[in-house]
Amino acid sequence: MTIEKNLKERIKELTCLYEVSSIIVNNDYKELDKTLFSIALSLRKALQFSKQATVEINSEPFHLLSSTLPKKTVFIESYLTIFNEPKGYIKIHYPADKFTKKDFLKEEKKLLKNVAINVGDLLERVAIRENEAIVKRKMEHADRLSILGEITAGIAHELNTPLANILGFAELLKSKQKESTQAGKDLDKIINSAIFSREVVKKLMFFACEMPQNLGQTDIIPVINEAMNLLDPTFKKNEVKYKVFLPNSPVLLKADTIQLTQVIFNLVLNAIYFSPKDGLIKIILEETKKKITLKISDEGPGISAENVQKIFQPFFTTKTVGDGSGLGLSVVHGIIRSHRGTIDYQPNIPKGATFIITFPKQ
Confidence of residue 206 (pLDDT cuts 50, 70, 90): low
> Among residues 283, 278, 279, 246, which one has the least CA distance to residue 263?
283
Q: Is 245 buried (19+), middle (13-18) or exposed (0-12) by CB count in 10 A?
A: exposed
For residues 227 and 116, state if they share a domain: no
For residues 45 and 161, state if they share a domain: no
Judged against a pLDDT cut of 70, whether residue 149 lies above it is answered with no
Of the three residues 207, 229, 264, the one that is the final residue of a domain is: 207
Confidence of residue 106 (pLDDT cuts 50, 70, 90): confident
Please indicate whether residue 15 or residue 318 has the higher confidence score (pLDDT): 15
Residue 322 has a pLDDT of 45
For residues 110 and 240, give the distance between their C-alpha atoms in angstroms, rounded to a whole number: 60
Residue 320 has a pLDDT of 53
> Among residues 255, 179, 189, 175, which one has the least CA distance to residue 222?
255
Instruction: Say if pTM beats, i.e. exceeds, 0.75.
Output: no
For residues 31 and 115, state if they share a domain: yes
Confidence of residue 53 (pLDDT cuts 50, 70, 90): very high
Domain CATH for 230: 3.30.565.10
Give the range with max mean pLDDT: 49-58, 199-208, 332-341.
49-58
Q: What percent of the chain has pLDDT over 90?
A: 30
For residues 170 and 288, state if they share a domain: no
Domain CATH for 130: 3.30.450.40
Of the three residues 207, 241, 260, the one that is the final residue of a domain is: 207
Helix (H, G, I), strand (E, B) or coil at 203: helix
Domain assignment of residue 239, given as a range: 216-360
- Over residues 246-294, the pLDDT tens digits come to 999 999 999 888 788 888 988 998 899 889 999 999 999 999 989 999 9
For residues 173 and 227, state if they share a domain: no
For residues 267 and 294, state if they share a domain: yes
For residues 223 and 350, state if they share a domain: yes
For residues 161 and 128, state if they share a domain: no
Average pLDDT, the chain: 83
Q: At what angle do helices 220-238 and 257-274 cross, to 10 degrees?
A: 30
For residues 225 and 347, state if they share a domain: yes
Q: 10 Å Cβ neighbour count for 116? A: 20
Ranking 4-18, 222-236, 285-299 by mean pLDDT, the lowest is 4-18
For residues 127 and 35, state if they share a domain: yes
Of the three residues 114, 135, 156, the one that is the final residue of a domain is: 135
Please indicate whether residue 209 or residue 186 has the higher confidence score (pLDDT): 186
For residues 252 and 353, state if they share a domain: yes
Gap between the terminal Cα atoms of the chain: 70
Number of domains forming the structure of the chain: 3
Could you tell me where the DSSP H helices lie in the chain?
3-25, 32-45, 106-175, 182-207, 220-238, 257-274, 305-308, 328-338
For residues 333 and 224, state if they share a domain: yes
Residue 321 has a pLDDT of 46
> Among residues 297, 304, 299, which one has the least CA distance to residue 276?
299
For residue 61, cis peptide bond before it (omega within 30 degrees of 0): yes
Q: Give yes or no for a contact between 49 and 104, defined as CB atoms under 8 angstroms apart.
A: no
Longest CA pairwise span in the chain (Å)? 115
Q: State the amino acid at position 78 in one-letter form.
A: S
